[in-house]
Amino acid sequence: MANPAEAKVCFNHGIESLVQNDLKMAIRHFDQAIQWDNRFVLAYSNRGLAYQKQGDLDKALANFEMAIKLNPKLADAYYYRGVIRKKKGDQEAALADYNRALQLNPRMAEAYSSRASLRKKQGDLLGALADFDAALRIDPGHAEAYNGRGLLSREKGDLAGALADFDAALKSSPDYAEAFYNRGLARKAKGDRAEAVADFTRALQFRPDLAEAYANRCLTLLE
């Protein structure tokens, strides 16, 4: 028999565990919430998020699809399903999910930024730029959108614009390894080799597995 009150208690414990990044415990609490109420939409959605963070994309996808089945207007579930579909290589399905998420919630900066990255990958640079701009109008501190827009500017040869956006990304997220790396490439292209090396080094402090940063730091030092 469904017991929404007990389900809510378990759900709240699950959210606490998710915030603390205790993913196994979070999943356990969401399991219990769903046992008490098998139509608890947010329990499915957040269990999907926990599975996604664990790297179990198939279980995450199943949970987001159940959440959508129970509530076809849940924008977050479409967005996260799109993220998973993109990781699985299904770009068109991911794009459709981002589009649907934004139809339901036009203020979702993350969906604009993710759609922009996908559009860039597909060669739609104008669409990507429009989406990065939209994300930043909604959330002026969105580091990923600054980084993505900076990449577009760098590809167009606008190094000043690229550097401004990488600076903004790092102001918003000071441990953003990819932004340090991308700023390093822009500084290298500009001829500022010492500053480029410093950026590659900072990137490696936050992402020691970033092989490209090792390679470009080595090449820059040899120039």
Read off the pLDDT of residues 26-76 as tens digits, 9 standing for 90 and up: 999 999 999 999 999 999 999 999 999 999 999 999 999 999 999 999 999
Residue 20 falls inside a structural domain: yes
pLDDT at 1 over 70: no
Range of the domain at 7: 1-70
What distance in Å separates the CA atoms of residue 47 and residue 1, rounded to the nearest whole number?
A: 21
Residue 19 falls inside a structural domain: yes
What distance in Å separates the CA atoms of residue 51 and residue 61, rounded to the nearest whole number?
A: 9
pLDDT at 186 over 90: yes
pLDDT at 79 over 90: yes
Residue 123 falls inside a structural domain: no
What distance in Å separates the CA atoms of residue 193 and residue 82, rounded to the nearest whole number?
A: 39
What distance in Å separates the CA atoms of residue 203 and residue 173, rounded to the nearest whole number?
A: 12
* Residues whose CB falls within 8 Å of the CB of residue 58, separated by 6 or more in sequence, listed in order: none
pLDDT at 157: 93
What distance in Å separates the CA atoms of residue 81 and residue 181, rounded to the nearest whole number?
A: 29
pLDDT in tens, 85-104: 999 999 999 999 999 999 99
Tokens 């090449």 locate to: 219
Residue 172 falls inside a structural domain: no
Arithmetic mean of pLDDT over the chain: 96
Residue 24 falls inside a structural domain: yes
What distance in Å separates the CA atoms of residue 206 and residue 163, rounded to the nearest whole number?
A: 20
In the chain, the number of structural domains is 1
Of 117, 69, 152, 25, nearest to 109 (Cα)? 117
Burial annotation 106-118 (CB, 10 A radius, 16+ → b, else e): eebbbbbbbbbbb
Could you tell me the CATH number of the domain that includes residue 54? Answer: 1.25.40.10
Residue 37 falls inside a structural domain: yes
